[in-house]
Structure 1
């Protein structure tokens, strides 16, 4: 059994693909294989029935591993050298497949696209922080204190509103059908913008 992975085939890209082509191929494959699209508790048109959720997890992991290796110049060079020596049968090079965290990679790559889907636009602590900071600043430093206090309070309130949570963490806390709907919306957004073919 051949255990040496062909990361180029996994991402369906040529060996001379650019970094941007690798990233776009990852986006396409990650959306196709994301386990949240294959959850058994989903109902309606958002559920993808091509794979079981366990099979999707394996495919999603392979796609993440491929992106992890090919997106970094050093790792890609080492991988290409291992593939070349394996093809030539010069040495029995054993490739240690990198096990990347697929959720972390997905969150990093899709951060900008996920943000509007999962952000909570209802602010509570930001205005309260600004008003409170302004009041305290005015008490301690008159008008300059008011401005500085309002600015600091607003920033602290925004941190509290965001709860220091990454966008992917917020995404991971959503229910399954909401996740599947977001993934479908991301795929549609990427296709309509011409990023995915």
Structure 2
């Protein structure tokens, strides 16, 4: 359990206490993209967005933002947090602390950004599709000569492609990229969301 001094999650995400679930999610997206440690890898062009922030500082801030989203995006946790926060305001700063398990910052990021990361990462494993086509074609030829070969190869290729697509999660594929590639993807996502007016 984390029993640090009380942290104002609304302040971290820069949202009002009355923020809706959608506003909380949008605020998280903006802050997560601003502070993701992969944007601060030494030597990346994008590390210039905030030169005073080191990669270690970015990790700590990224974790706080994930913790804020973890608490405020869940109705029960948010109610408990709001009660502790209100009690603290009434009774003074020493009145209460907030205890919560630390969120898995990378898991939250991957869940929120999976659909947006998919076209940016687009790194399928092209292994099972060709194997499926060859084995499907061979079985098809045995069962139905040339028409069977064509149909078997087509079906095997399609089934193999499905297996390829499920071979690795989007975030796992992202994690295997080079530092510069990661930073470029995060910058592209930030630009895409800002220009579309979504954050």
> What count of residue pairs does the alignment treat as equivalent?
192
* Whole-angstrom distance in 2 between the partners of 1:150 and 1:109: 35
SS at 1:77 equivalent: helix
| Shift, 1:167, TM fit | 0.6
Which structure 2 residues correspond to residues 18-167 of structure 1 after superposition, within 5 A?
A: 18-42=20-44, 45-48=45-48, 49-89=51-91, 92-120=95-123, 123-137=126-140, 139=142, 150-151=154-155, 154-159=158-163, 161-162=164-165, 164-167=167-170
| Partner in structure 2 of residue 12 of structure 1 | 14
Counterpart check, 1:3 vs 2:15:
no
Q: Distance in 2 between matches of 1:148 and 1:137?
A: 5
SS at match of 1:110: helix
Shift of residue 16 of structure 1?
0.7
Distance (Å, rounded) in 1 between the aligned partners of 2:80 and 2:151: 54
TM-score normalised according to structure 1 size: 0.84
Please say if residues 130 and 160 of structure 2, whose CA atoms lie closer than 8 Å, have aligned partners that are also in contact: no
How far apart are residue 32 of structure 1 and its match?
Answer: 0.7
Deviation at 1:141, TM superposition (A): 8.0
Displacement of 1:92 = 4.1
Point out where structure 1 has 5 or more consecutive residues left out of the alignment: none
For 1:188, the equivalent position in structure 2 comes to: 191
Deviation (angstroms), 1:162: 3.8
Q: TM-score, normalised by structure 2?
A: 0.83
> Per the alignment, in what secondary structure is the counterpart of residue 67 of structure 1?
helix
Kept in 2, the 8 Å contact 1:128–1:157? The answer is: no
Q: Distance in 1 between matches of 2:158 and 2:7?
A: 50
**1:34–1:60: 8 Å Cα contact kept in structure 2?**
yes
| Cα contact 1:69–1:76 (8 A) shared by 2 | yes
Let me know the Cα RMSD of the aligned residues: 2.8
Unaligned runs of 5+ in 2: none
SS at match of 1:195: coil
